[in-house]
Homo-oligomer: A and B are copies of this chain.
């Protein structure tokens, strides 16, 4: 039998879910291109034998600190596990040490990456089609994609040079209310946002929480890049500033441990009151949803991450010193290369992020998929059109550059090629 695409769920006809396919396809077609497209971590020379060491560290922790027998440890690794996860105590200790976030381990749901956390949070919080999710614009496609899957309406909040402007959040909430709907939650990446690289100043963080309180919004804070600062300045997360349990916090071990485990987490310490008056935590409600999505996060993968956390004393900031330096060097190399190769071009500008994996370059012509194909074919350099990240399709003269995956000398060569691509494109009016 044949199935018509139009006969499937509408998300599958939405270009949003196809953008990554186009990027992957271009990358595969031009393997010798320098690629500023993927936001993935640097490919470390990881040896498979380290896995056994981490499993062993986790098993020893269970035997020593929790008094489990070898047989019980085997059961925890090989059987079905607790839906909320089994390294929740280690996760809670880690966010306390690294971010000053003090929560009960019962507030933690261990997820299949932060992506599952987004889906859990959206499904729980959005009651029906009258509920709207506010998102920074531009915005990570994982959240708009998850919203699309669940038919959740999205209201963009235009981002300023310093990230999500609290006044813009208030204005967006008012627009939603004026349309007869409820602004339910705001998704935001305050630290080195993907794609823009912006970091929200601490005063704006306090204002954002105040706006969330006055507009009765929950805040979904996603923090995959927070550790990777280019400067020594520390800025507290929204969750660390949250006195009102208004922030649902999404974390990931993909960048601080390794992506192949697919382990992330949600912190959801909001009390939920049921009709029987029995209070539960929002984490318990997320767990009920998780039981129908993935049942539990691979206990094996959790054990490996658990072993890493035990080995690092639940301090990823310390354990990641080398990685933090590596990403800082890459971002500095990208900024240097841009100054060197494009500094004399008045039509080209870029922002200077304080950390993270990304920055945004503005050019005087339209950078669509056709332009990306020309760039890859004729100049052997890849990047991501920023229009992918705007719910409204703006950003047609902007591109995202990611430096996380490249070597320093590749970055310089890549920007040299990008400069020749830019020089070859006539400035266009549309």
In the complex, what residues of B have CB within 8 A of residue A259's CB?
Answer: 78-80, 299
Contact B46 A77 (CB under 8 A): yes
A246 within 8 A of B: yes
Given known contacts A8-B272, A127-B9, A273-B5, A294 and B79 CB-to-CB distance under 8 angstroms? no
Proximity string of chain A (110-148) to chain B, C-beta cutoff 8 Å, 1 when within and 0 when not: 001101100100011111100000000000001001101
Proximity string of chain A (57-92) to chain B, C-beta cutoff 8 Å, 1 when within and 0 when not: 001000000000001011101111100000000000
The distance in angstroms between the C-alpha atoms of A127 and B9, with both chains bound, is 4
Contact B274 A5 (CB under 8 A): yes
Proximity string of chain A (287-321) to chain B, C-beta cutoff 8 Å, 1 when within and 0 when not: 01101111111111101100000000000000000
Distance in Å: Cβ of A221 to nearest Cβ of chain B? 15
Find A146's partner among B18, B78, B218, B292 (CB 8 Å cutoff): B292
The distance in angstroms between the C-alpha atoms of A340 and B81, with both chains bound, is 35
In the complex, what residues of B have CB within 8 A of residue A292's CB?
Answer: 11, 17, 115, 119, 142, 145-146, 148-149
Task: Return the chain B residue nearest A21 by Cβ.
Answer: B288
In the complex, what residues of B have CB within 8 A of residue A7's CB?
Answer: 127
Contact B261 A300 (CB under 8 A): yes
A206 within 8 A of B: no
Oligomer: number of copies: 2
Q: How many residues of A contact B (CB 8 A)?
A: 93
Q: Which of A1-25 contact B (CB under 8 A)?
A: 1-13, 17-18, 20-21
The distance in angstroms between the C-alpha atoms of A117 and B218, with both chains bound, is 30
Find A51's partner among B51, B272, B273, B296 (CB 8 Å cutoff): B51
In the complex, what residues of B have CB within 8 A of residue A285's CB?
Answer: 5, 8, 12
Contact B293 A1 (CB under 8 A): no
The distance in angstroms between the C-alpha atoms of A299 and B270, with both chains bound, is 33
Task: Return the chain B residue nearest A290 by Cβ.
Answer: B115
Distance in Å: Cβ of A139 to nearest Cβ of chain B? 13
A275 within 8 A of B: yes
Contact B74 A47 (CB under 8 A): yes
Task: Return the chain B residue nearest A76 by Cβ.
Answer: B260
A56 within 8 A of B: yes
A381 within 8 A of B: no
Contact A116 B294 (CB under 8 A): yes
Distance in Å: Cβ of A49 to nearest Cβ of chain B? 7
Given known contacts A124-B9, A270-B3, A295 and B46 CB-to-CB distance under 8 angstroms? no
A322 within 8 A of B: no
Contact A262 B48 (CB under 8 A): no
The distance in angstroms between the C-alpha atoms of A18 and B284, with both chains bound, is 11
Contact B78 A293 (CB under 8 A): no
- Among A48, A128, A150, A303, max chain B CB count under 10 A is at A48
Contact A289 B149 (CB under 8 A): yes
The distance in angstroms between the C-alpha atoms of A20 and B290, with both chains bound, is 12
Proximity string of chain A (30-69) to chain B, C-beta cutoff 8 Å, 1 when within and 0 when not: 0000000000110111111101100110010000000000
Q: Which of A213-227 contact B (CB under 8 A)?
A: 213, 218
In the complex, what residues of B have CB within 8 A of residue A127's CB?
Answer: 7-10
Please give me the 7 A-B residue pairs with the lowest Cβ-Cβ distance, nearest first: A145-B292, A260-B299, A262-B298, A52-B52, A46-B78, A5-B274, A78-B260
Since A1-B246, A300-B301 are in contact, a sample of 20 more A-B pairs with Cβ atoms closer than 8 Å, ordered by chain A residue number, is A1-B213, A3-B218, A5-B272, A7-B127, A8-B285, A9-B123, A11-B288, A12-B285, A12-B288, A40-B80, A47-B74, A48-B74, A51-B55, A80-B259, A112-B112, A119-B293, A142-B292, A142-B295, A262-B295, A301-B301
A residues neighboring B (CB under 8 Å): 1-13, 17-18, 20-21, 40-41, 43-49, 51-52, 55-56, 59, 71, 73-75, 77-81, 112-113, 115-116, 119, 123-128, 142, 145-146, 148-150, 213, 218, 244-246, 254, 258-263, 270-275, 280, 282, 285, 288-289, 291-301, 303-304
